[in-house]
Amino acid sequence: MSLTTLLEKRNSVRAYLETPVEQALLEAIFTQAQRAPSNCNVQPWQTCVVSGAKKESLKNDLLSAVMSGKPPNPDFNWLPKYEGIHRDRQFGSANALYSAIGVTREDKLGRQKAMIRNWSFFDAPHVVFFTMDKYLDIMGAVDLGIYAQTLSLIMAEHGISNCMQGALGQFPDPIKKSLNLPEQRGILFGMSFGYADINAPINKTRTDREDITSAVSFFK
């Protein structure tokens, strides 16, 4: 499948089959992703892939942290308040998601339940956390974004779906404790992945993309 076809077919998946990805394939995919470019070839990503019993235990710890009512305490600035057209697009994305599962704008409880599923990894068999040394800040974040996109496309080539989740960077403490990460390491974001449940209504969600005329300028 060509890269163009992969981009046209991919979408964020929020319901998965229980079937895990075989370890040999996982290792091959993450080995290929090491070819991702980075500034000055510093390769700042420290990638944590969590599966099985460890994933289930971490899921419970994260849900407890989220449900405790304590505010998020991300290692990086993961709490932007979108404005203008960016806020409009955010609302459009949310509307597409909730409409796919029959949750109305007035159904606050339904929306909260859908949001909470971020920290149960949408029941995916695997989750990956993208971490880096905190001092790297924005430069490291750029590299991790490039790496994560590379990883996502390689997964798609192998028929594996995923969902990038900024939410998985909002409550880092249970993750660091579970994975025994050093204090200087920060969790930027995460990604749930596995084989998509193609019959799940939530996986019918699709979002629009801006026309090139409003997104790209050519200068000569």
Q: Which two tokens stand for residue 85?
A: 């057209």
Question: Exposed (0-12), middle (13-18) or buried (19+): which is 155, by Cβ within 10 Å?
Answer: buried
pLDDT of 128 reads 98
Mean pLDDT of the chain: 94
79 has a pLDDT exceeding 70: no
| pLDDT tens-place string over residues 116-143 | 899 999 999 999 999 999 999 999 999 9
DSSP 149-165: HHHHHHHHHTT-EEEEE
Distance (Å) of CA 112 to CA 36, 118, 145: 36, 10, 27
Distances (CA, A) of 206 to 99, 100, 115, 214: 10, 9, 17, 20
What residues form DSSP beta bridges with 49? 128
Euclidean distance between the first and the last CA atom of the chain, given in angstroms as a whole number: 34
pLDDT in tens, 164-220: 999 999 999 999 999 999 999 999 999 999 999 999 989 988 888 899 999 999 999
**pLDDT, tens only, 44-77:** 999 999 999 999 999 999 999 999 988 999 999 8
Predicted confidence at residue 108, as pLDDT, reads: 82
Report whether 79 contacts 72 (CB < 8 A).
yes
66 vs 80: which has the higher pLDDT: 66
Confidence of residue 31 (pLDDT cuts 50, 70, 90): very high
Amino acid 7: pLDDT: 86
For residue 156, name the pLDDT band (cuts at 50, 70, 90). Answer: very high
**pTM recorded for the entire structure:** 0.93
